[in-house]
A = this chain, B = another copy of it.
Amino acid sequence: MTLEAILDASMALLDTRGAAALTMRNLAEALDCTQASLYRHVRNREELVTLLVDRTLGVASSVPPDGADWAEKAAWSARLFREHLLRHPGVASLLRGTERLGPNSLAGREYSLELFIGAGLSPRLAAAVASSLATFVIGSVHFNLGLDASDSEEISHRRLLYRSRDAAAFPLLVQHADVLAEVGSDDEFEVGLNALLTGFRILIEREDTTRD
């Protein structure tokens, strides 16, 4: 019985039965031990979650393709990370801000600092830029968890909701109900990611001319 085994069993529980099923009782049952013995390897349930999330963050350390510039690398990592979270919604739903200081989180931080300092930003700006990008990526997954737009039933449900609003109070929602219902988290993510990276690029250019 190792910490590793506990984390593995936790991931299995999350992936097969969802976040609500990650209880100390279910975990003990899956590992054939008592609840109390779990506390020998983990201080809290919260610590367990922190370890679990940080472990998942480790996937972001996959190295982007060579020859790409900083923006392409950042976009590549952001998309990879998002896709990993989408594949493990149970983990995504557990995301808080508390896990930023775990080992894998720090590794990701080091990597993104390298990226943005290399692109020409000061350490301070690089940190803020990296942090805002991470917030957007994680938020985009986290806050769209139960709302998959590719589900056609969900789309028509939203279309109906928009269409049935009061046209005087919500003219645009009613008028564009059809197209609005189709806009999903993929669009939100790509538009936001591109806007952020464009904004970062211009920030970098401005920093460069300031320095000259």
- Whether A189 sits at the interface, judged by CB under 8 Å, is yes
Give bound CA distance, A122 to B100, whole Å: 37
Chain B, Cβ-Cβ closest to A93: B96
| Contact call A144/B194, Cβ cutoff below 8 A | no
| Contact call B97/A128, Cβ cutoff below 8 A | no
| Contact call B123/A172, Cβ cutoff below 8 A | yes
| Contact call A165/B106, Cβ cutoff below 8 A | yes
Between-chain CB contacts (< 8 Å), 25 pairs: A96-B145, A96-B146, A97-B143, A97-B145, A98-B146, A110-B173, A113-B173, A117-B172, A123-B176, A123-B180, A124-B182, A124-B187, A127-B187, A128-B190, A128-B191, A136-B136, A138-B139, A138-B143, A139-B140, A142-B142, A192-B196, A194-B199, A195-B199, A196-B196, A202-B202
Chain B, Cβ-Cβ closest to A202: B198
Task: Tell me which residues from 102 to 125 in chain A have a Cβ below 8 Å from any Cβ of chain B.
Answer: 106-107, 109-110, 113-114, 117, 123-125
Q: Which of A133, A142, A182, A195 has the most CB of B within 10 A?
A: A195
- Whether A27 sits at the interface, judged by CB under 8 Å, is no
Binary interface encoding of chain A residues 164-198 relative to chain B, with 1 for a CB under 8 A from any of its CBs, else 0 = 01000111110010011011000111111011111
Chain B, Cβ-Cβ closest to A195: B199
Copies of this chain present: 2
Give bound CA distance, A146 to B46, whole Å: 14
Chain B, Cβ-Cβ closest to A157: B101
Chain B, Cβ-Cβ closest to A171: B110
- Whether A135 sits at the interface, judged by CB under 8 Å, is yes
Question: A128: which B residues are within 8 A, CB to CB?
Answer: 183, 187-188, 190-192
Give bound CA distance, A190 to B132, whole Å: 9
Chain B, Cβ-Cβ closest to A196: B195
Give bound CA distance, A145 to B98, whole Å: 8
- Whether A60 sits at the interface, judged by CB under 8 Å, is no
Chain B, Cβ-Cβ closest to A122: B179
Pairs A-B, 4 closest by C-beta atoms = A139-B139, A195-B199, A132-B192, A97-B143
